[in-house]
A and B are shown apart, each in its own frame.
Chain A
Amino acid sequence: MSKPDDTELIDQCMGGDRHAFEVLLVRYEKPVFNAAYRMLSNAEDARDVTQTVFLKAFENLGKYDPKYKFFSWIYRIALNESINCLSKQNRLDVLQQEPASQTGGPEEQTGNEQLSEGIQAALMTLKPDYRTVIILKHLMDCSYLEISQILDIPEKKVKSRLYSGRQLLKDALTSGGLH
């Protein structure tokens, strides 16, 4: 039996089927949590954001426009909530001043762990606009068009932010000795 697509599940949710919401939750909990984590670099904040995202999605299912993909809609909520979380905590200024650095002793980490932490630290040095497109492109595997729909900006701007973001990220990794 084929898995129900998102649109079917949303229709079922709207009809009061709580199980349909659970299926959507299982399908998108992990990518939403990961997007929030990469934006915030804090697992507990990512957990709170993920919770808020799904509650908001459930409450606002009636406003979902099926001409767009469901993941575009929920990723948009996730990124907006993450940015709200950053703003509330007044972290933006601090984050932008933090150098790309690794936590823990590099000699005690495997190459992959060190690299992964280095990239996360470098990501946090980027402004949220740049970080967002990099996360959507490389972690959420979205195309330029999908990113454009999620962020509601022209594709030209997506490209511009992505290319600049990559260059900044490369510079941050180089200054952190990881490129």
Chain B
Amino acid sequence: MAIEHKYVELINAGIDGEISAGQRAELERFLQDSAEGRQLQSDLTKLCDRLDTIEELSPPPHLKHVILDSVKPREKAMKSTNIWQSIFAAQSVRIASAFAFGVILTATIISSDQISRNAFDDVTGLVGTISSTTSGDPVPGKHRISVSRREIAGTVKLQRAGQIMVIDFDLYSSRPIEIVADFADPDIWFNGFAQLESTGTSVSAEAGRVTLMMEGRRRYALYLHNASGAEATVNLSFFASGTLIQEEVLQFGGVE
């Protein structure tokens, strides 16, 4: 026989300690006569004990620094609201912002000694993928790495948009960091760059290699053209003051 709803409520409230003396007396009278009620109380008590002992997790050690670096002193924060809103607002706005910045930056801050046959394609239509982890196609292979060092922390993700591989960097560094992206395959070439802030990251490209310099909280994307769509790897090396501090490999499993 189902337990009357009123007593289910009293059992739950009793377990939570949110019950009056009168309600408790009523509950006890009910339980004396109801084996089913006692069973429900026992089951729920056991469940709540388990829930109350779930282990607390520690946030990543760098998170506090990333957040503190992101907030400006109060007065400045008010003036710079637009930048932060553009980063953390709705995805469509974020994409639009990235697009706008990307178009400008792709044209202004890249230095490239890349072999001329591998000229830039027009990637402006893809620049928005910098801020969207869901808009690009999923990439087979290792497409997400985490960096968690004292000098630099965050994530790097690889997405695909047709023949373009988009490497999305979301990093915080406490000092200037050089990141070298090596791709030995001659069918891959540097195709563009975009970032969500107007300054702070520089990029230079040559055949098979792109070098980035950054400091602080930065979100930017690197566009590589993968002409054959075949399997490829991009080796990422992170340097602080010329010392290699971390190496990672992103794997592109190829277009099926």
Contacts and interface: CB of A to CB of B under 8 A. Distances in A.
Interface of A: 13-16, 18, 21-22, 25-26, 29-30, 33-34, 37-38, 43-44, 46-47, 50-52, 54-56, 58-59, 88-90, 112, 115-116, 119-120, 134, 137-139, 143-144, 159, 162-163, 166, 169-170, 173, 179
20 contacts: A16-B74, A18-B68, A22-B64, A22-B68, A29-B59, A30-B59, A33-B63, A34-B56, A43-B57, A44-B155, A47-B63, A51-B63, A54-B67, A54-B71, A55-B71, A59-B84, A88-B91, A138-B54, A159-B12, A162-B16
Contact of B77 (A26, A59, A112, A170): A59
Interface residues of B, number: 39
A14 to B, nearest CB: 7
B67 A116 contact: no
B134 A115 contact: no
Contacts of A51: 63, 66-67, 70
A52 B94 CA distance: 14
Contact of A18 (B13, B55, B73): B73
Contacts of B50: 115, 119
Chain B interface mostly helix, strand, loop or mixed? helix
Contacts of B63: 29, 33, 47, 50-51
Contacts of B91: 88
B45 to A, nearest CB: 11
A30 B56 contact: yes
B33 interface: no
B81 to A, nearest CB: 7
Contact of A47 (B55, B59, B88, B134): B59
A130 to B, nearest CB: 13
Given A21-B71, A52-B88, A59-B84, A29 B9 contact: no
Given A119-B50, A134-B51, A170-B47, A15 B68 contact: no
* Contact residues of A: prevailing secondary structure: helix
A111 B50 CA distance: 12
Contact of B70 (A22, A55, A112, A116): A55
B71 A16 contact: no
B59 A33 contact: yes
B44 interface: yes
Interface in B73-88: 73-75, 77, 81, 84, 88
A169 B18 CA distance: 21
Contacts of A58: 71, 77
A138 B51 contact: yes
B58 interface: yes
A29 B51 contact: no
A50 B70 CA distance: 13
Contact of A116 (B55, B60, B134): B55
B113 interface: no
A149 B51 CA distance: 22
A162 B63 CA distance: 32
Contacts of B64: 22, 25-26, 29
Contact of B60 (A38, A47, A119, A144): A47
A26 B64 CA distance: 8
